[in-house]
Amino acid sequence: MAIRKFKPTTPGQRHKIIGSFENITTNVPEKSLVVGKSASGGRNSQGKMTVQYLGGGHKRRYRIIDFKRTKDGIPAIVKTIEYDPNRSARIALLYYADGAKTYILAPNGLKVGTTVMSGADAAPEVGNSLPLSRIPIGTVVHNIELRPGQGAKIVRSAGSFAQLTSREGAYAIIKMPSGEIRKILATCKATIGSVGNSDHKLERSGKAGRSRWLGRRPHNRGVTKNPVDHPMGGGEGRASGGHPRSPKGLYSKGLKTRAPKKHSSKYIVERRKKK
């Protein structure tokens, strides 16, 4: 994966850095795996704005991704590597031996024509999905389930990966991308390798219009607003502000927001490192 820089022929091109699409093999998605996607614009069912700075953006169609990988023991061939407008990672179209077609997240190193498989008997190779109990210690993984059969919930964004560090009884010890170390049931599945498109973090939009294409409206700070609109608004000149907080009045710096009795807290072995 590489990035592209542009000659400054326009102000927007001067700072624009985008990913290269050289590994993408088609721009037409599989019709049977595509559904329509509606946008809320940040409004709830009453039409009231509940999330700020959302709206507009290019129309998207949702690609149905197979996060469960339930077709155990059936080999599948990677047919295409495609762009997905709904996520930072690339996706791969699989053709199974029984005729089924599915999309998966494309890990680093997965190429068209490669054969992948899922299940306890699959080899620990890039793109294969196995229970954590069958994956060698020290292996880099992504697309990890939190409950058996639930489907992958964590480590799914471009360039991210976790590492299987050890096993304790019925649990596997996973080092997360954040640095957190946690226990996950060893019967949960994970996919070998790291998520592709690792240069996504180097991209720069170059202009405000590109954020609008993504459905992001201009974001102004709370201190620039009036008191009726934000707790930090108002004041003469720049004499305003106070302790940073959200529009609802909740402190946004240093206040712990994790539920103290959250069920999954007991599975955290070591918290992530604070900056």
CB proximity list for 254: less than 8 A, separation 6 or greater: none
Q: How far apart are CA 269 and CA 177, in angstroms?
A: 14
Q: pTM of the entire structure?
A: 0.90
The answer to whether residues 103 and 166 belong to one domain is: yes
- Supply 15's token pair: 């700072």
Q: Is residue 195 situated within a structural domain? A: yes
User: If pLDDT is split at 50, 70 and 90, which confidence band does 236 have?
Assistant: confident
Q: Is residue 141 situated within a structural domain? A: yes
Helix (H, G, I), strand (E, B) or coil at 64: coil
Chain mean position to CA 128: 19
User: If pLDDT is split at 50, 70 and 90, which confidence band does 275 have?
Assistant: low
The answer to whether residues 33 and 152 belong to one domain is: yes
**Domain harbouring 125, CATH code:** 2.40.50.140
Q: How many domains does the chain have?
A: 2
Q: Is the pLDDT of residue 274 over 80?
A: no
Q: Is residue 81 situated within a structural domain? A: yes
What is the per-residue pLDDT across 8-33, written as a single tens digit (0 to 9) for each?
999 999 999 998 898 999 999 999 99
Higher pLDDT, 127 or 241: 127
Lowest mean pLDDT among 93-97, 149-153, 223-227: 223-227
Residues of the domain holding 228: 224-264
The answer to whether residues 248 and 151 belong to one domain is: no
- Supply 56's token pair: 């507009």
Sign of CA dihedral 75, 81, 82, 86: positive
Q: What is the percent of the chain with per-residue pLDDT over 90, rounded to a whole number?
A: 86
The answer to whether residues 42 and 169 belong to one domain is: yes
Unique residue bearing structure tokens 């720049």: 238
The answer to whether residues 125 and 242 belong to one domain is: no
pLDDT at 1: 57
The answer to whether residues 243 and 175 belong to one domain is: no
pLDDT at 48: 95
CB 96 within 8 A of CB 145: no
